[in-house]
Amino acid sequence: MALKTPEEFRQSIADLHLQIYMFGEKVDDYVNHPVIRPSINCIAMTYELARLPEYEDLMLATSHLTGKKVNRFTHIHQSTDDLSKKVKMQRLLGQKTGSCFQRCVGMDAINALYSVTYETDQARGTQYHERFKNYVQYLQDNDLVADGAMTDPKGDRGLAPHQQPDPDMYLHVVERRDDGIVVRGAKAHQTGACNSHEIIVMPTVAMREGDEDYAVSFSCPANAEGVTYIYGRQSCDTRKLEGNDLDIGNAQFGGQEALMVFDDVFVPWDRVFLCGEIEFSGALVERFAGFHRQSYGGCKVGVGDVLIGAAATAADMNGAAKASHIKDKLIEMTHLNETLFSCGLACSYEGVRMPAGNYQIDMLLANVCKQNITRFPYEIARLAEDIAGGLMVTMPSAQDLADEKIGPIVEKYLVGQCDTPVIDRMRILRLVENLTLGTAAVGYRTESMHGAGSPQAQRIMIARQSNINHKKELAKALAGVGKPWDKGKIKVPTAVSAD
Ligand code: SF4
Ligand code: FE
C-alpha cells in the first residue's frame, strides 16, 4: 500500500471503532468530536506534509527493509543524517501545528526496540528481532500510526512492580498460552492514544528478579478486545465545545493524552517482543527515553518558533515593538529556543551505529537536551507573557465581541496599535494564552517537564554517562597529581620593591 492521504488516515482511525470515554460518556464519533478533532488534525498533518515535494527530504525515508519510500515516522534510522532529519522534521511539524503532533512516540518505540530485540536474541537465543522486523515492515507498508506506550500508573513509588498491593499498577502478563500471552494493567498519559492504529507496549522501569511478568513488550491493534481509553482533560478544553474559534487561540490543532486500560488483552506470540527477560527492560526504557528526549529538541523548538512569533506580533499590535527591552526579550527567547535545537542536532550528529545496524543518538547529549527542555520553554513562556501583557488573560469573550450592545464597547477599548484590527489582536493574544496556559500548554509546558521522563530521570542518566573518572584523570594529569615532588628545585622569588 502507498502512503496514506490525510483523508484515508482519518477514515482508518474512524473504522477502528475505539472504546473512548470522555466526561463520563462513551464517544462514538470521536474523529469529529470538537475536543478530539484538533489532535487528529495534527497527525493528519504528518500525512499531508509527506505528500508535498518541498518536504519530501525530511518527511520521507528509504526503508532498509524494502527499499521503498516510507513516512519517516515509520523509519528505522540508518545514519546520523537520518537522526538529524528526524529532529528537523519535528521542528517543521511543531511550526505547522503549534502543538504536540503525537506521532513520534511510535517512531521512538520502534527505533528502541529494533536494537533491544536484536541484543536480547544474541544473549538469550530468542526470536524477537525477526518478528519485530516483520512488524516494522507492516507499519511501513500500511503507513500506520503506532502509539509507544511506556508509562505505567506505578502505584506506590517505593515498591517494585511485583511488590505492589494491586498487581495491576504495572502492566503484566497474567497468562502464558501456546498461542500467545494475556496482559492486564494500564498505561498513563498516553500521547496520541486515540489517534493510533497500533499500540506498542514497553516496560516503564528497569526490572529486577521477581518482576519477570512485568518485563513485557508487545504490540496490538488499538482496537484489540479489552483495550479502553479514558480521555485526559486539558486546561480550557471545554472552550472547544463553545462553537467559536476565537477563544481557543489555536482551533485547528491540539494534543491528546489518555489513560489506556488493558483488561485481559490477548497478544499472539508473533507480536511479543520481550517476555520475562528482566535484564533488557532497562535498556529498552533508556533507549526509548533517549530517542524521545532527542525528539523534544525538534518538536518543542517548532512550537517555540510559533510562540516567539506570537509574542513579536503581540508587541507589534500593542505598538511596543520598538522598545529596546521588547527586542531584547525576543532575542533571549530566540537564543533559548535555538540552544534547544542545537542540543537536538548535537545528539543526532554524535549518533552511533548499534550492533543491530540501526543508529542511536548520543545518550549523554540527548539527556542534556531534555534537561534543558525542562527549563527553557518555561522561560520562553514567561517572556511571551511579559511581552503580551495582562490582556491575554483578562480579555472579554468572543460572545461579548459579537454582542450588539457590548461588542462596540469591547472593540473601542481593546484597540492597540492604530492599524491593527481588534479581532486580530484578540486572536494573537488568545494564541499566546493557548500556548502558555491553555490546551497547547500541556505539550509546551508540563510535557516539557515530565514527558520522556521527569528532570531527575535525566540527571541520573547524565551522572551515568558523564564519565567523571575520565575528567578527574584530565585534571590530575595537568596538576601533576601522583608525580614525585623535587623540593630542591624550589627558588625563593626575588622580593619586589614596594615603590
Ligand atoms: Fe512528538 Fe513532541 Fe508530542 Fe513527543 S511531545 S509526541 S516528540 S510532538
Ligand atoms: Fe511527549
Q: Which atom of ligand 1 is nearest to the CA of 452?
A: 4
> In 136-174, which positions are buried (b, 16+ CB within 10 angstroms) versus exposed (e)?
bbebbbebbbbbbbbbbbebeeeeebbebeebbbbbbbe
pTM of the prediction?
0.96
The residue nearest atom 1 of ligand 1, judged by CA position, is 104
Q: Which of 72, 111, 296, 341 to mutate to test the pocket of ligand 1 (most atoms within 8 A of CB)?
A: 296
Residue 327, pLDDT > 60, answer yes
pLDDT in tens, 413-458: 999 998 999 999 999 999 999 999 999 999 999 999 999 999 999 9
What does the pLDDT read at residue 445?
93
Residue 343, pLDDT > 80, answer yes
507573557: which residue's cell?
385
Domain limits, the chain: 6-279, 285-468
Task: Provide the grid cell at 485.
Answer: 615532588
pLDDT in tens, 84-136: 999 999 999 999 999 999 999 999 999 999 999 999 999 999 999 999 999 99
pLDDT band at residue 492 under the 50/70/90 scheme: confident
Asked about 292 being catalytic, the answer comes back as yes
Q: Give 20's strand partners.
A: 27, 229
Q: What is the mean pLDDT of the chain?
A: 96
Q: Give 149's strand partners.
A: 201
Residue 498, pLDDT > 60, answer no
Residues 6+ positions from 33 with CB-CB distance below 8 Å: 22, 27
C-beta 299 within 6 A of ligand 1: yes
What does the pLDDT read at residue 163?
97
Distance (Å, whole) CA 92 – CA 89: 5
Distance (Å, whole) CA 307 – CA 340: 15
What does the pLDDT read at residue 494?
78
Mean of pLDDT values over 56-65: 98
What does the pLDDT read at residue 301?
98
Identify the CATH class of 6-279.
mainly beta
Asked about 236 being catalytic, the answer comes back as no
Q: Which atom of ligand 1 is nearest to the CA of 443?
A: 5
Architecture of domain 285-468 in CATH?
A: Up-down Bundle (1.20)
pLDDT band at residue 2 under the 50/70/90 scheme: confident
Mean of pLDDT values over 170-192: 98
Helices 324-349 and 376-388: crossing angle, nearest 10°?
160
What does the pLDDT read at residue 418?
86
The residue nearest atom 2 of ligand 1, judged by CA position, is 299
E runs forming strands in 158-233: 172-176, 180-191, 198-201, 216-221, 227-231
Distance (Å, whole) CA 340 – CA 335: 9
Task: Provide the grid cell at 189.
Answer: 498519559
